[in-house]
Structure formats: structure tokens, C-alpha cells
Structure 1
Amino acid sequence: MQRAPAIILHAPQLGENIGAAARVMLNFGLTDLRLVKPRDGWPSAPAEAMSAGALAQGTQVSVFETLEEAMTGLTYTIATTARPRGMEKAVFGAPDAVGALKRQAGQSAVLFGGEKSGLPNEAVALCDAILTYPVNPDFSSLNLAQAVGVFCHQWGASAGLEGKFDGTTEGLGAPALREELIGMFEHFEAELERAGYFYPPEKTPVMVTNLRNALVRAQWTQQEVRTFRGAIKALALGRGKARVVREE
């Protein structure tokens, strides 16, 4: 994976949000978490609990007294804010922000403000660009850890983590062969015909097509085909027993 940006939390208040941010960072391959004057100090038992082990398994936390100190060694930083600041800076959505970060040769970072009021203007002024999300304009307040998570997800997707999930499934049996499906269809349709389902007769081809289209979308396994055919047989036998009882 390409070198990931640092995540800087400016004056975070709740240890729980710090822990949740650390957790979602590690989910998507980011490990450099920098804290500027966390209100409740560090280390933090609530952060440790909320991190679900991320603080012990890979997310590295550094604590600084000032933002300037936290930005030591950085060559490019993006500030997150939902409010227009009247500054001459590039404004990105998450995908373009990730692209800008990937074009940097040095160490980059994304800066997030505290829970109460976000980033002060002087912090935004130190950054190269602004990141904003397309949130509801009537309710644009994001929880700090949620805001970090939105960016981290975008970074993980761009870094190829989503390629590990290719749509395959685990624990399923072999897929049904087409001839097995066709045999199931014919079995089902024969019993429906006996039950008088296809009426009027001239609509039978359309009804059969609709049924097959619906069934084929399920992507049956061989075991599922056998199970369904067993169910069809049981219903047919049950209908036969009911007929015998009525005749008697």
C-alpha cells in the first residue's frame, strides 16, 4: 500500500472518539494518529476501550501541545471543514482529496477539528487544501470519529483493499448445473400444471418464462436444487393425500 497520510485530531474532547478514530483508521490501513491537546489527556482508558485493540495492534498515537508541532515533517496537509472559510484554497471531496494526497512525494496528513466547534481558522490557514463531504446542508454536523471514518474508507478503497472482496462466497456448495436447474423448472412446472395454476392456457408460456426468470436469479447450488425438488415432491404428495381423504 502507498504510504498513508497521518490523521491529526485538533483538540479532541472525548476519549471514545479518539479510540473510534484509531479503530477505523486501522480498518483501512492508516496507522499514524496525532493528537493536539486532547482535552482529557493521554493515555485514555475510554479511548483504549473504544479502539477494540487498534491502539495495541497498529495505530500509533503521538501527542503534541501545538498544531505546528504535530505538523513537523509534513509536506502537504488537508483540513476538513463543512463551513466556507473565505480562503483561497482548493476544495476537495473525499475521492479528489485522496488523489491529491497520493500525488505527494512526502508525508501528508488530514486534519480534523474537535467535537465542539471544528477547526479554528488559524488551523485551516496552515493547510494546503480543504476537504468537505456532501452532507445534508440542513444537518451537516458529523461526529468526529464518523468524519475520520468517511475519509479512511475512501483511502482504503483507493488503495485496493476493496479488491480483497470480489463477490465470492464462502461455505456454499457447488453451483447447480444448467441441466439441474432445467430439471427443477420442469418438475415445478409439471406440478403447477397438475394443480391448475396455468390459466388461461394461452398465457402458460409467459407465466413459465416469468417463473424461470425469477428462480434463475437465485444462483442455486446443487444442494438447494435437491432441497427444492424435495419440497415440490412433498407438496405434490400432500395434495394427493388430501384428495384421497376428500374422496373417502
Structure 2
Amino acid sequence: MTEVQPDTIVSPPAIILVEPQLGENIGTAARAMANFGVTDLRLVAPRDGWPNERARAASSGASHVIDNATVYDTLDEAIADLSFVIATTRRPRDMTKRVEGPEDGLAELVRESAAGRTGIMFGRERWGLQNEEVAAATIIVTFPVDPEFASLNIAQSVLLMSYEWRRVACSAPAAPEPAQPPATREEIAGLWQHLTGLLKPSGYFRPEGMAERMERNLLNILSDARWDRQQVRTLRGVLNHLAPGSKRGGDDAA
């Protein structure tokens, strides 16, 4: 279970590193997490495998973070149980996705942590996150860096986000729990796959060269909304009802 520091009243976010290359980068990111009481490290397909002794050495004693790190084959698996996810990126994206600064973005994450588990994802050392990965997040957070030298390494990015989380969390008032638990990223992805699976045979995604972008835009719309689990269940019941060959009048999970 994620550890909560005594002077915070909310659970820390998971830190998701997507396809990290060097063990040293994982270790320094773990050290940055430990500085601010963030302990849930999730690695998506680390290039050099796991465990990694270089990561342990570079963590400078943050062994509890390294020892408890979990490894996933895909990003979808790594964020499946999360209900609110921040994507960190400095590049402009060809999509409609809300962009916040660290202060506002982390304040929103802290509020959402009262309802469900949260996470922050960081991309590859060389080119960051891909568009479809950003689309799976709830919002984008970008740092107000000098545009003449905007490059941050993974550990710097993790440090900035972990610091801002702790600063906000230590002063945040207790938030009431929602009447319904929020939908997880896995449930949102399932709704998206259900919807696109019904639209493809109808020829909705055309012209063919635009299909991938149109599907990603749908994922953006669904990821940005604050669905709860019952709403997703109801919508999937509606989709089942509209599917060709469905039996009208059955249980539509509403």
C-alpha cells in the first residue's frame, strides 16, 4: 500500500515512467520521489529490464522505492487502477487536451485523490510521451521553463512534480468522498474500445488516413470527462442496446 506521510492527508500519486532507458535515470527519479514521500513507482517496459543494480546505486538509499517498484508491459496496464492521471510534456500536441501548470494541475490531483487513486506519467528520455499515451491521461501539466532551453531530464521532472504535490497536499483541506467512485482508466479504455468497435464497421472513421486521429480524439473526450463507475456502466449498457443484433429489452446495465 502507498505510504502517506504524517503531515499530509491525501495519498501520494503513482509515478509512471514509460519505457525508461537507463537504470541511473530510474534511480535518481526514485531518489526524488523519496525526498517528498512519494513511493509508488511504476515502470513500463524498462529497456534494460528489472531489477537493475544501477538504479539501486543511483537512488542514494531510496531502497524502499526501488524494492517496491512494479513493472508493466504496457501503459494501459500501469494506469488501469487510476482514476485521475497527469501527463507531463513540454511539446505542443495536435489534440484537444486541457493544459495546466504544476500548481493548478497538482491541486486538482490532490482534490481527486479523495475519490480514487491518481498518477503522473513521464515519457522516454529522448522523445517523451506519444500522442496516444497523452490521450489516455486526464490533463497535461507543463512546466514554465525558458523556451530557449526547455529540456528537463526525468529526475528533474519527477522532483518538480513530487515537490509540488507535497506542497499542495500538506495544506489541502479534507475533501469529501464522492457518492459514486470515479471510473478508472481501465474502465474508460473499455468504454472507448466498446464505442470504436461499434463505429468501425459502420464506416465512421473516414477517410482512412484520419482514422487513427479520430479514434484518439474520442479517447481524449472520454478521458477528460469525470465519469463515475455507474455512468460508464450505464453508457456501455446503451452501446450494447444499440449494437447490431442486440436483444432489445434485456438488461442494459443501467
TM range (shorter): 0.5 to 0.7
Amino acid at match of 1:23: R
1:21-61 deviations in Å (ceiling 9; x for gaps): 11111110111010000111110111000111212368730
Question: Which residue in 2 is equivalent to 1:135?
Answer: 145
Displacement after TM superposition at 1:113 (Å)? 0.2
1:60-109 deviations in Å (ceiling 9; x for gaps): 30000000110121101110000111222211111111111012110010
Question: Which residue in 2 is equivalent to 1:91?
Answer: 99
What's the TM-score, normalizing by structure 1? 0.62
What's the TM-score, normalizing by structure 2? 0.61
Q: Which consecutive unaligned segments of at least 5 residues does structure 1 have?
A: 162-248
Q: Which consecutive unaligned segments of at least 5 residues does structure 2 have?
A: 1-7, 172-254
Question: Which residue in 2 is equivalent to 1:179?
Answer: none
Larger Rg, first or second structure (1 or 2): 1
Give runs of ≥4 in structure 1 deviating > 6 Å.
none
Whether the 8 Å CA contact 2:110–2:169 is kept in 1: the answer is no
Amino acid at match of 2:127: S
Report % sequence identity. 51
- Aligned-residue Cα RMSD (Å) equals 1.5
Q: 1:158 to 1:58 in 2, by over 3 A?
A: farther
Question: Which residue in 2 is equivalent to 1:11?
Answer: 19
Whether the 8 Å CA contact 2:39–2:64 is kept in 1: the answer is no
Q: Distance in 2 between matches of 1:149 and 1:59?
A: 19
Tell me the number of residue pairs that the alignment of Structure 1 and Structure 2 aligns. Answer: 161
Whether the 8 Å CA contact 1:76–1:128 is kept in 2: the answer is yes
Question: Which residue in 1 is equivalent to 2:163?
Answer: 153
Question: Which residue in 2 is equivalent to 1:246?
Answer: none
Question: Which residue in 2 is equivalent to 1:78?
Answer: 86
Are 2:33 and 1:25 aligned?
yes
Displacement after TM superposition at 1:160 (Å)? 2.6
Secondary structure at the residue paired with 2:37? Answer: coil
1:128-160 deviations in Å (ceiling 9; x for gaps): 100100111111111111111111111122233
Question: Which residue in 2 is equivalent to 1:36?
Answer: 44
Q: Higher helix share goes to which structure?
A: 1
Secondary structure at the residue paired with 1:103? Answer: helix
Amino acid at match of 2:155: A
Q: Distance in 2 between matches of 1:137 and 1:153?
A: 22
The partner residue of 2:119 within 77, 101, 109 is 109
Whether the 8 Å CA contact 2:99–2:141 is kept in 1: the answer is yes
